[in-house]
């Protein structure tokens, strides 16, 4: 009888999106709330390994049922189709409508496809099937890209000199040496790295026969002369639901119409509540979050886990009548894989600016692999010990 009464008192939390942020939020909340996790897939995908999937790694996902076993979290294998903040309801494509006391919006991001396919809509890569457009691919269409690589050698152009583009070019050049790989970027490669870090990236790309072309502003994949193009330039938050429901998204109203490119991220306060709808918490790539030491958080797994954990902690605090704490986070390192045998560990200050010392070579590749494995370990640990958030690097 007492247990039933306690169950009734526990608030209903719906978590949208089962990536790093959503899984972390759901697992941390499970002992304190009735949690429903909405994500169409029964597998948790390690998105930071998608370039490995494109290169031929057979599996980068884990059974969601196993990860959630024993936690009491209900997984609804469906896509959220609409949000009704006034009714505190989420509609899904399986016909179920979920009512919530608090919502965690963690729908992540995807490569903005408009460069890969002129005329595509930002929602195009967020559909149920990862899309490829003729000879243009993105990280989300990694399985199709792998198939294309196996179909026969030719010229491959990776567009975008950020960390995803660098990892993609190195991985594909190493795993498919029969392809001629180029890396094209408008600025210089690895713009956020230290001089030593950039130098190491260049050395490895050179060793892998990747031709780097800097200062190349590419309008879209159609204008690239190659048999296959991998578009890695801009990430865009999965924001359709939020915009349709009237949530404030980035850029703020004062900058709308000024040409500042929208990231689609939802504007949040220091505790990660939507500024326009405070009963909605936002975590991971979907949140335009800031922290005093870090400044604006970039889209990263490194920020998705802590913001997922923080959103959950804030909801728990609120349910106890306390004011949620502001997010406390500082960056400390960037980890870059350069194929399976080399890498770059770039220490950074709390605000993500690079320090000059770096770790390179096989030791760096081993550290990067351990860091990637640790993300899944953190989630598994959070299922057993939800307060393990303190162990997440950069938190506090
Ligand atoms: C190739 C590659 C390499 C990367 N490497 C690194 C790295 O080394 N380090 C790093 O920090 N970051 C890295 N990143 C970035 C990192 O993967 C993302 O920042 C991170 O995945 C964001 O986590 P998230 O939980 O916010 O969103 P996501 O991981 O995008 O998860 C969102 C979830 O929401 C679900 N979803 C979407 N729409 C709906 C809907 N309508 N209804 C229900 N569910 C929905 C999706 O299926 C998905 O499961 C990399 C990204 C890529 C592509």
> Each residue of 43-80: pLDDT tens digit?
999 999 999 999 999 999 999 999 999 999 999 999 99
Give, using CA atoms, the residue closest to atom 24 of ligand 1.
Answer: 108
Which atom of ligand 1 lies closest to the CA of 300?
19
Q: What are phi and psi of 207, to 5 degrees?
A: -60, -30
pLDDT confidence of residue 220: 86
Can you list the domains of the chain with their CATH numbers?
A: 2-108+238-327 (3.50.50.60), 122-233 (3.50.50.60)
Among candidates 39, 107, 143, 48, which has minimal Cα distance to 373? Answer: 48
**Tell me, what's the pLDDT at 101?**
97
Give pLDDT tens digits for 184-228: 999 999 999 999 999 999 999 999 999 999 999 888 888 899 999
Distance 197 CA to ligand 1 centre (A): 25
Minimal-distance CA residue to ligand 1 atom 51: 48
* DSSP three-state, residue 363: helix
Distance of alpha carbon 170 from the chain centroid: 20
pLDDT confidence of residue 3: 46
The per-residue pLDDT for 250 is 85
pLDDT of 1? 40
Q: Which two tokens stand for residue 212?
A: 């780097």
In this predicted model, what pLDDT tens digit does every residue of 311-364 receive, in sequence order?
Answer: 999 999 999 999 999 999 999 999 999 999 999 999 999 999 999 999 999 999
DSSP one-letter code for 42: S
Q: How many other CB atoms are there within 10 angstroms of residue 130's CB atom? A: 18
For residue range 89-122, list pLDDT tens digits in order. Answer: 999 999 999 999 999 999 999 987 676 677 666 6
Residue 370 CA to residue 304 CA, distance in Å, equals 18
N residues, the chain: 396
- Of all atoms in ligand 1, which is nearest to the CA of residue 51? 1
d(CA 226, CA 175): 18
Question: What is residue 257's predicted lDDT score, i.e. its pLDDT?
Answer: 62
CA distances from 62 to 44, 187, 298 (A): 5, 37, 25
- Give the number of other Cβ atoms within 10 Å of residue 188's Cβ: 13
72 alpha carbon to ligand 1 midpoint, in Å?
Answer: 24
Kindly report the protein residue whose alpha carbon is nearest to atom 4 of ligand 1: 48
- Give the residue carrying structure tokens 């050395």: 203
State residue 131's pLDDT score. Answer: 62
More confident site: 165 or 134: 165
Rounded-to-integer distance, Cα 85 and Cα 325, Å: 24
Residue to substitute in 28, 43, 46, 48 for testing ligand 1 pocket (most ligand atoms within 8 angstroms of CB): 48
Token pair 């605090």 is found at 317
Residue nearest to atom 52 of ligand 1 (CA): 48
Confidence of residue 294 (pLDDT cuts 50, 70, 90): very high
- Which residues does a 6 A CB cutoff place in the pocket of ligand 1? 16-22, 38-41, 47-48, 50-51, 79-80, 106-109, 126, 139, 164, 167, 238, 284-285, 299-302, 304, 335
pLDDT of 255 reads: 57
Tokens representing 374?
A: 């640790």
Give the nearest ligand 1 atom to 81 CA.
41
Ligand 1 mean position, distance from CA 87 (Å): 28
Report helix, strand or coil for 201.
Answer: helix
The pLDDT score that the predictor gives to residue 2 is 46
Give SS3 for 59. coil
pLDDT, average across residues 30-37: 96
CA atoms within 13 A on the CB side of 381: 14
Which of 146, 101, 148 is CA-nearest to residue 278?
A: 101
Ligand 1 atom nearest to 24, measured from its CA: 25
- Please state the atom number of ligand 1 nearest to the C-alpha of residue 299: 19
pLDDT digits (tens, 9 = 90+) for 138-156: 999 999 999 999 998 999 9
Q: Is 310's pLDDT higher than 80?
A: yes
pLDDT computed for residue 357 by the predictor: 95
Cβ-based neighbour number of residue 377 at 10 Å: 12
Atom of ligand 1 nearest to the CA of 79: 42
Do 133 and 117 form a contact (C-beta atoms < 8 A)? yes
């Amino acid at each position: 009888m007492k247990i039933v009464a306690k169950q009734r008192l526990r608030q209903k939390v719906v978590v949208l999106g089962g990536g790093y942020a959503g899984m972390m939020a759901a697992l941390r909340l499970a002992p304190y709330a009735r949690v429903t996790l909405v994500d169409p897939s029964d597998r948790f995908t390690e998105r930071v390994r998608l370039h490995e999937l494109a290169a031929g790694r057979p599996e980068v996902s884990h059974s969601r049922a196993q990860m959630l076993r024993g936690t009491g979290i209900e997984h609804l294998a469906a896509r959220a189709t609409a949000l009704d903040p006034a009714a505190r309801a989420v509609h899904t494509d399986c016909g179920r409508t979920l009512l919530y006391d608090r919502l965690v919006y963690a729908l992540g991001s995807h490569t903005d496809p408009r460069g890969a396919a002129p005329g595509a809509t930002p929602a195009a890569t967020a559909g149920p099937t990862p899309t490829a457009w003729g000879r243009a691919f993105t990280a989300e269409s990694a399985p199709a890209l792998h198939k294309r690589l196996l179909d026969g050698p030719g010229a491959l152009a990776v567009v975008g000199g950020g960390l995803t583009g660098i990892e993609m070019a190195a991985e594909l050049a190493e795993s498919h040496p029969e392809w001629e790989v180029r890396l094209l970027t408008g600025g210089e490669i690895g713009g956020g790295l230290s001089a030593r870090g950039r130098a190491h990236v260049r050395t490895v790309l050179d060793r892998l026969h990747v031709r780097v072309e800097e200062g190349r502003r590419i309008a879209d994949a159609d204008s690239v002369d190659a048999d296959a193009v991998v578009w890695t330039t801009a990430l865009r938050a999965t924001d359709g639901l939020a915009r349709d429901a009237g949530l404030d998204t980035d850029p703020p109203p004062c900058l709308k119409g000024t040409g500042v490119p929208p990231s689609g991220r939802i504007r949040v306060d220091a505790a990660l509540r939507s500024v326009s709808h405070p009963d909605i918490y936002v975590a991971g790539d979907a949140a335009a979050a800031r922290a005093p030491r870090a400044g604006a958080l970039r889209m990263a797994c490194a920020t998705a886990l802590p913001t997922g954990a923080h959103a959950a902690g804030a909801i728990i605090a609120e349910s106890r009548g306390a004011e949620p704490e502001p997010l406390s986070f500082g960056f400390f390192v960037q980890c870059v894989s350069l194929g399976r045998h080399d890498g770059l560990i770039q220490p950074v200050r709390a605000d993500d600016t690079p320090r000059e010392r770096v770790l390179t070579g096989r030791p760096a590749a081993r550290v990067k692999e351990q860091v990637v494995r640790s993300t899944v370990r953190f989630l598994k640990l959070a299922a057993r010990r939800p307060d393990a958030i303190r162990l997440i690097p950069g938190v506090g």
